[in-house]
Each structure stands twice: as C-alpha cells, then as structure tokens.
Chain A
Amino acid sequence: MLSAQTFGDPGKMKEYHYTGPVEHRFSPYAFNGGTVLAVAGEDFAIVASDTRLSEGYSIHSRDSPKCYKLTDTTVLGCSGFHGDCLTLTKIIDARLKMYKHSNNKTMTSGAIAAMLSTILYGRRFFPYYVYNIIGGLDEEGRGAVYSFDPVGSYQRDTYKAGGSASAMLQPLLDNQIGFKNMEGVQHVPLTQDKAVQLVKDVFISAAERDVYTGDALRICVITKEGINEQTIALRKD
C-alpha cells in the first residue's frame, strides 16, 4: 500500500523496517518520472522527452510522451506528476482557445510562458507537481526556451533539462552547448543537425543511469516550416 511516507523524496522509496508508530496520510501527489529537454537554436527549437511512465518500481506505459504541441510554433514538455501534467495541458489548451477567440491571433511563445507562470502561481499553496519547459520560436523567428519551477518562477534560456535525469543532463548541456568549464575552445553556433544528434546522445546516456528514463525518445523539432516529430528507441530495462 502506497502512502505519504513513500514519497518523501521524489523518485525514492523509503526503507521497509519498523521505526515506531507513524501517521499515514493520503498524499495527493505521485511521482511518474520522465525527463524533458529543450534547446534553442538560431532559427529552430527542439523539445525532446522520453516516453516512459513509471510509478515506484512499476512501469505504467512505455509510450507516454511528455511533449505537448500547443501551437504551430510552440511545444510544452512537462514531467513530474502525470495527473497534474494532463490537467495543466487541458487548462493551457482552453486558455489558448480563449485567447484566440478574444484577440483573433495565436499566442506567441513568450505570451504562453507568461501565462503559464500565472497559472502555476495561482496554485501557489497546492502546487501543480510539474516541471515545465516550453520550446518554440519567438516573434523574430529565433529559437526560445522557457523553463519553470512548479510554482511559476520562469526565465528564458538557451537550453534546459527538466525531470528525473535533469541533474545528469544539464551539466553536459552546459559543457557542449554553453561551452562552460572548457578553456581555449572555439564557440561555434549550434546547427540543427548537431543539436538533434546531441539530444539523442544525451538521452541515451540518461537512460543508462536513470531508472525512470528510457523506452523511447520523442524529439519535436520546431522551425518556421512547422513541427517535425521523430521517435528513437532507448533502453527498455
């Protein structure tokens, strides 16, 4: 039987031994794993996620991607508690439609990011347990990435990893895309092909070392031509 004690730390189960009487409370949250990553290029953006949905020691599904297409130029990646991810994406879709009907135009990536921040903060005292990353094109056609914390703190980035393997992926991205912690290296701008290859490599590494990441990788490449999706197999163990 799962209890609040089981979810003391995200993704970690507590040990089973008797420690004395403990109060068990129903926890409204669960941790369903998954990793999301977004990279912004000069004229493209990439949002990628694994497709494994897990809970505790079980895998619920091997085909549950965490990228959600919002508009023709914006994709949202959300990981954390799947129930809150679903509700949040439903609310965002509804708000996008309302904006379209009131203002007769599609929301821009920056506007969606600002709106998501207020939606998340609206639940400041009972947060959506979701780590969001928005990837898309800004009004000038340049790639944009916006990363959020569960209560709506956000900023624009060049690249960001979120979810269970984020701590493993982020330093690698800092090194390869941000050229951090290297001396005397030429800063070449990131091409679309190199970025896609980097994303694949990075997820393959994450699947090796993070139990909650694996099964398959869904990559959405956003350019002014539209959104191109591809699926690559990952480790299934």
Chain B
Amino acid sequence: MPFSLAHGTTTLGFTFQGGVIAAADTRASGGGLVASPDVNKITPIHSHLVVTSSGSGADCIMWERILIREIRLYQLRHRRRLSISGAAKLLSFMMHPFKGTKLCVALTLCGWDKEADASDCAKTLADSSVMTDQDVMTYSTSPNSGPRVIYVCSDGARLQGDIFSVGSGSPYAYGVLDTDLRWSLSEEEAISLAREAVFRATHRDAYSGNNVDVFHITAQGWTRRKREDLKEEYYRDMEKKGGDMREKKQTDKTGN
C-alpha cells in the first residue's frame, strides 16, 4: 500500500500496593507526520478494567470495541463479571485467526479483579456494573483477586506481569521505571513515576509525544488524571536542571 497507517507510541502499566497505574502518550504518527496530537490511548472497558493500546490505531479502536462488546455479553449471559485474565484469554483467542496478517495490536489490560463471593450469582442485571458496599479498601493478595496487568498482542502473546511498557518509546520508559519502581510506592509516587517514564520516553522517541494520560485503578474502580501537556513539563525540567546537566538535582517526586 502506498500510504502509512497511524502508529508509534509509549504506553505502560504496572501494579503496586495501591492498585494499578496505566499511562500513555497521546501522539498518533503516520509515517513521519503527526496524524493527531491528542489521541486517547487508554480506553476504559468496564469500571475496573482499562486497556492501553499500541500499534495500528484503527486496529486498536476496533478490537477494544469488540472486547467491550464481548465482556458485556458475558456479563449478561453468566451474571458475573469476567476476570481480567479471562478477558485477556478471550481477546487473545479472538485475535488468533488473524495471526500472520497485517493486524498490529498490542494491548495491556490493567485492572482489578474483585473477589468472587456468594452473592455474585444472585446479582441482578441492574446492579452488575454498579459498585456495592462490599468493595472495601483492604483486599487479600490471593492470586485470583487484586491488581493485575496482562499484555496481549496480535502475534499471539498473552503474558501476565507486574510491569509492562509497550511501543516505540518503551525502552526509554523501562529505563525510568526499573530504577524506581517498588511494590511499596505511595499513590503519588507511583503516578509521578509513570508520568516521568512517559515524559522521558517522549523526549527521546520521535514517534511519542504531546501529552500524557494517567489512569489509576483500585478496588473502587478507575480514576483518570487530567491530561498534561509535556511541553510544560519539559520547561519545568529545564529550570530544575538550571542549565548544568551534569549536576543531577533532586527531582520533586510529589510534583503535580
């Protein structure tokens, strides 16, 4: 084909004691042109699951729609919500027939599995997607509930892990994340780290840039931070450095 499709990105997702953080840039590039500077690469699937997308824009949009539809159908048919790993498996199996084609989809499912309890089966359709009083701050670290990050891609990979970064800017993001990521981070520290990782990746990767979106998923569901323009962040960073790059000053970890 004589034209290029929207591509290129930095996305990341990781778990920590306070839940799951998902972050992404907002640039869609087609060849060397910025096709759009303000794309949404993080899409909510349901109240406790968001998906970060990377690869071909149209493919990701379409497969996210398919996933939302299938999860909703499952919920209506079985009167319980599919687990995050169940959703990942479903998506992976649905994409399998397209293996070997030009489909290019790399999604990170970031979500919170709620504990299955006896009252789940008795839930009516009306409240199947509504938060109940049972959702409390503490959760057990059993393997079937709690924060979860799973990577699914059109090549057929389906991997569960603690931290994933996907896209052309991912090597730069991994460098920042691997330095400071710990399970015991506070919520502000984790959000700040995610922002920093995307910021550094957009600085070095030509195909990532513009803004950073950050989502935080807990037992109560997902919340979204206000989108931030990284141009402002860059100028703040230059001021902090004071022009002398060799002197690494203490960066403000609780920055907004």
Contacts and interface: CB of A to CB of B under 8 A. Distances in A.
10 pairs of A and B residues whose beta carbons are closest in the complex: A153-B57, A153-B58, A151-B58, A152-B58, A7-B2, A149-B6, A10-B2, A153-B6, A121-B62, A167-B33
Interface in B180-202: none
Nearest to A150: B3
Contacts of B103: 124
Interface of A: 7-10, 27, 29, 31, 80, 117, 120-121, 124-125, 127, 129, 147, 149-155, 157, 166-167
B224 to A, nearest CB: 17
Contacts of B59: 124, 151
A149 B30 contact: yes
Contact of B5 (A7, A9, A150): A150
A73 B185 CA distance: 52
Contact of A31 (B2, B30, B56): B2
Given A10-B2, A153-B60, A155-B36, 19 more contacts: A80-B3, A124-B62, A124-B102, A124-B103, A125-B102, A129-B1, A129-B2, A149-B58, A150-B1, A150-B3, A151-B59, A152-B58, A152-B61, A153-B28, A153-B56, A153-B57, A153-B58, A155-B38, A166-B33
Nearest to A157: B36
Contact of A127 (B1, B36, B38, B57): B1
B39 interface: yes
A129 B3 contact: yes
B202 to A, nearest CB: 17
Contacts of B159: none
Interface string B5-45: 11000000000000000000000101001011011100000
A125 B56 CA distance: 13
A212 to B, nearest CB: 14
Contacts of B101: 125
